[in-house]
Amino acid sequence: MSKKLLLFVALFTFSFSAINAQTVEEFKSQLAAKSAELAAIQGEVNALKKSISEFPGWKIGALASLGFNSSNFNKWITTANPNSTSTSYGISGNAFANLDQPKYFWRNALSLSAAKTRLILDKDLNDLLPDDDQIGFETTADAINLTSLFGYKIAKQWAISGLAEYRSTFLTNFNNPGYLDIGAGATWTPMSNLVVVFHPLNYNLVFADDDFTFESSLGLKVVADYSQSLPMGIAWRSNLSAFVSYSDPNNFSNWTWVNGFNFTAWKGIGVGIEYGLRGNRQESYNAFLTGTGIPAETIAIDDFDDSTNDGDNPVQSYFVIGLTYSISR
């Protein structure tokens, strides 16, 4: 009797394992089939998105990044400043409105960045000062850029174009200096996410008060704008704007390069970073004159190399890291 029972248990266990194994294999087969269907559907979705993005008409979108940092110490005697406080906040934003038609296009963009910082090394001492003398927020980043590019298509990837670009600050010293580029030339669009502007006929008009020394000039304008979707849902946008002066390439030329990375987590909300670089010898020269109080008649911009110890034209930079919000239509 016991031998029959053992045999029955063994047969039952073997049969159950075989049935279970067969069921798992069926599930795996079904999973593979569904995954293939999902991949096909995702391919169709991507194709529809591409068709929508390439369809003629207006494309409008915006992205904003907000960064904030704060620290506060009270009688924290292990630090050099036991009663200090530091607060900083910054914002960067980009918006575009692009029209694409079979014979022409019109691309408009706005970008801005601003940051303010307040550092108080001794709060007790600061509170004893009159209200007008107490330490407040200082502007540490301030820039605005407006561009408008119109092109008439003469080939699939080429167009005759005209560009207007304005750059300045908007929190402090608005239009002092301010830069207005107006020019014409050609625009190359080898792919939908890359636009390269080449304008050999461009005038760089600089606005500034009489207290500053800036020169306007004729030159070459080059703009390159690129956007790409990276793995893990990261969006990357890179913009380079450069001007090369014909009359004085070393002193009157300038360039700005901004890169932004954005990861959207939920309904347009995400995390992003924007990093900008700029080179402008005229700005460096005027900042040196303002900081030292030396008259421009004493040191010309051509002699600026010999008047400083840390270089004549340092690369300016900024970055903002924080929460982002993006919209598109």
pLDDT at 24: 67
Q: 246-288 pLDDT, tens per residue?
A: 999 999 999 999 998 888 877 778 888 888 899 999 988 888 8
Q: Are residues 179 and 37 in the same domain?
A: no
Q: Are residues 73 and 217 in the same domain?
A: yes
Q: Are residues 138 and 22 in the same domain?
A: no
Q: Are residues 51 and 63 in the same domain?
A: no
pLDDT at 134: 85
What 3 state SS string does the chain have?
A: CHHHHHHHHHHHHHHHHHHHHHHHHHHHHHHHHHHHHHHHHHHHHHHHHHHHHHCCEEEEEEEEEEEEEEEECCCCCCCCCCECEEEEEEEEEEEEEEEECCCEEEEEEEEEEEEEEEEECEHHHHHHCCHHHCCCCEEEEEEEEEEEEEEEECCCCEEEEEEEEEEECCCCCCCCCEEEEEEEEEEEEEECCEEEEEEEEEEEEEECCCCCCCCCEEEEEEEEEEEEEEHHHEEEEEEEEEEEECCCHHHHCEEEEEEEEEEEEECCEEEEEEEEEEEEHHHHHHHHHHHHCCCCCCCCHHHHHHHCCCCCCCCEEEEEEEEEEEEEC
Q: 267-277 pLDDT, tens per residue?
A: 778 888 888 89
pTM of the model: 0.76
Residue 250 belongs to a domain with what CATH number? 2.40.230
Which one of 55, 86, 101 terminates a domain?
Answer: 55
Structural domain boundaries enclosing 15:
1-55
Identify the residue whose tokens are 């004893």: 128
Q: Are residues 14 and 127 in the same domain?
A: no
> How far is Cα 170 from Cα 162, in angstroms, rounded to an integer?
25
Length of the chain equals 329
pLDDT at 308: 55
Q: Are residues 167 and 20 in the same domain?
A: no
- Domain count of the chain? 2
Q: Are residues 321 and 303 in the same domain?
A: yes
Q: Are residues 261 and 196 in the same domain?
A: yes
Q: Are residues 289 and 152 in the same domain?
A: yes
pLDDT at 53: 59
Which one of 29, 55, 81 terminates a domain?
Answer: 55
Structure tokens at 304: 């600026």
Query: What parts of the chain have a pLDDT lower than 50?
Result: 309
For 46, phi then psi, to 5°, come to -60, -40
pLDDT at 272: 84
Q: Are residues 96 and 14 in the same domain?
A: no
Amino acid at 70: S
Q: Are residues 185 and 318 in the same domain?
A: yes
Q: Are residues 162 and 21 in the same domain?
A: no
Radius of gyration of the chain from Cα atoms? 30
CB 261 within 8 A of CB 231: no
Structure tokens at 244: 């090369």
pLDDT at 309: 47
Which one of 55, 79, 100 terminates a domain?
Answer: 55
